[in-house]
Amino acid sequence: MKKISGNPFLKRENGQIFIDLVPFEDLIKKYNTPILIFLENRIRDNINSFKKVFNKEFKRFKCFYSLKANFLPEICKIIYSEGIGVELIGLPELKLALSIGFSPSKIIIGGPYLSKELIEASIQSKVREIIIYDLNDLKKINSIAQKFDHVQKVCIRVNSQKFRSKLGVELNEHKIKQLKESCILYQNIKLTSILSHYSTQMNDLNQYKRNMDAISNNMKMLLSHNINIKNINFGGGFPEATVMPQDQLEKIAKSTRNLLDESEINYRNVYFEPGRYFIGDSGLFIAKIVKVSENRWIFLNIGNHICPKFAKCSLRFYNASLIDKSHKYKTSIAGIVPTDQDVLAKNYFFTKQLKQGDKVLITNTGAYCLTFSNRFPYPLPKILLIKGNDVDEIFDPEINQDFSIN
Ligand SMILES: Cc1ncc(COP(=O)(O)O)c(C=O)c1O
């Protein structure tokens, strides 16, 4: 059987497609399109290959799934069962993670806006670390931690120096002085970690090197002011696992280790926070061609409302009804949102024949599609979780209404 989209859980043979072990035909007989499908075994594989690669390079490596990439409870349960931690940005995610059973020692939480309620809930549940993007948040955390008689471990997110990035603290003499004074003054916080997250969909080794530079430059600056930090958090930013082959991941892990060794920085733990790498290629849509237009434009019954550009997925399109036919004819693909801006792909290689009603497989839609989706008034798709031969309906808009978390 041949892989589709480089995914070992998506295969084709004699015109038939198998989604894990489930025949595509069975699914479209039973369900109307569009359908969103997740592949449980792919998520598990991705987590395990990531862990294997980084455990080989780092003795004290810890992994925190960036939950915003996909916060469907059934997906989070899979992540939980693999024993890794989570990185969260808000209160709804914290409630979800705790209800699923994540130990607070495996939860790190932080973002550009830390509300009082979020800090309180984080401190009360004794999360591992709170990440600050602004030094002024230290005072807020300290006063809440004092109220609960707790010393809260804190991670500082530094600006990765990516062009025009506004996220994280840009350390300079003045900021370091402020940080040092805060560490002395605020007895209920303890600065333990540094985070730099560079970008998303990072395919180029140099991007990881630049992130490493941001970490080492900032750590050296802090050290020269006697601020010693134990843990390094490199954030996420890895592409879908099918887009980044394992040998490239190994190169990144090795080069990060070598650069750390060369920098002679002392550290204890190394953290990563992948989102897309774990989940991106576990997701796929089955959609339908609803219109064929001039100049090889086709319109699908999904669009940017549920498969948004903002999600930056490495989308791949296949004519599932003609899967064995060659996909070498330039075709443009539009969505159903009534705006000319709803373009899913331009000049994409697709089958010669374009027919209304044909089913289209869109891969790599597991990360951020739901997060960045909007309320454009079309029905939400059913969401299925497939494992081997098992098909589990994990979201039905008629029963569950919405997949948002509160
Ligand atoms: C601090 C931090 N960590 C991790 C991630 C996850 O990124 P990705 O899904 O690209 O791995 C993000 C994404 O924006 C982030 O800002």
Residue 165: the pLDDT is 86
Does residue 124 have a pLDDT over 90? yes
- Residues of the chain with pLDDT > 90: what percent? 98
CA dist 230 to 59, 106, 188, 207, 379, Å?
14, 17, 18, 23, 48
Give the position, in ligand 1's atom list, of the atom nearest the Cα of 157. Answer: 1
DSSP lists the bridge partners of residue 156 as 132, 194
Structural domains for the chain: 2-40+280-400 (2.40.37.10), 42-279 (3.20.20.10)
Give the position, in ligand 1's atom list, of the atom nearest the Cα of 275. Answer: 9
The model's pLDDT over 174-210, given as tens digits with 9 standing for 90+, comes to 999 999 999 999 999 999 999 999 999 999 999 999 9
Give the position, in ligand 1's atom list, of the atom nearest the Cα of 200. Answer: 10
Is residue 111 lining ligand 1, measured as CB closer than 6 Å?
A: no
The answer to whether 199 and 161 have CB atoms below 8 angstroms apart is: no
Residue 93: the pLDDT is 98
Is residue 274 lining ligand 1, measured as CB closer than 6 Å?
A: yes
In which band, very low, low, confident or very high, does the pLDDT at 114 lie, cut at 50, 70 and 90? Answer: very high
The model's pLDDT over 233-264, given as tens digits with 9 standing for 90+, comes to 999 999 999 999 999 999 999 999 999 999 98
Is residue 273 lining ligand 1, measured as CB closer than 6 Å?
A: yes
CA-proximal residue: ligand 1, atom 2 (nearest):
235
106 Cα to the center of ligand 1, angstroms: 17
Mean pLDDT for the chain overall: 97
Residue 215: the pLDDT is 95
CA-proximal residue: ligand 1, atom 4 (nearest):
236
280 φ/ψ angles, rounded to the nearest 5 degrees:
-55, -55
The answer to whether 133 and 157 have CB atoms below 8 angstroms apart is: yes
CA-proximal residue: ligand 1, atom 12 (nearest):
236
Does residue 1 have a pLDDT over 90? yes
Tokens of 393: 């309906």
* Pocket perturbation via mutation, ligand 1, pick of 50, 54, 66, 232 by most ligand atoms within 8 A of CB: 66
DSSP lists the bridge partners of residue 337 as none
Residue 148: the pLDDT is 98
353 Cα to the center of ligand 1, angstroms: 39
Residues 68-97, mean pLDDT to the nearest whole number = 98
pTM of the predicted model as reported, rounded to 2 decimal places: 0.97
The model's pLDDT over 126-139, given as tens digits with 9 standing for 90+, comes to 999 999 999 999 99
Residues 208-218, mean pLDDT to the nearest whole number = 95
Is residue 366 lining ligand 1, measured as CB closer than 6 Å?
A: no
Residue 160: the pLDDT is 87
Is residue 69 lining ligand 1, measured as CB closer than 6 Å?
A: yes
Residues 225-230, mean pLDDT to the nearest whole number = 94
For the CA atoms of the chain, what is the radius of gyration? 23
Residue 329 CB burial class (10 angstroms; 0-12, 13-18, ≥19) = middle
CA-proximal residue: ligand 1, atom 14 (nearest):
200
CA-proximal residue: ligand 1, atom 10 (nearest):
237
Is residue 66 lining ligand 1, measured as CB closer than 6 Å?
A: yes
In which band, very low, low, confident or very high, does the pLDDT at 327 lie, cut at 50, 70 and 90? Answer: very high
* Pocket perturbation via mutation, ligand 1, pick of 47, 197, 272 by most ligand atoms within 8 A of CB: 197
Residues 326-353, mean pLDDT to the nearest whole number = 98
Q: How far is the C-alpha of 88 from the C-alpha of 382, rounded, in Å?
A: 26
Residue 152: the pLDDT is 98
The model's pLDDT over 354-400, given as tens digits with 9 standing for 90+, comes to 999 999 999 999 999 999 999 999 999 999 999 999 999 999 999 99
Token match 């204890």: residue?
268
Is residue 280 lining ligand 1, measured as CB closer than 6 Å?
A: no
Is residue 236 lining ligand 1, measured as CB closer than 6 Å?
A: yes
The model's pLDDT over 146-180, given as tens digits with 9 standing for 90+, comes to 999 999 999 999 998 887 788 999 999 999 999 99
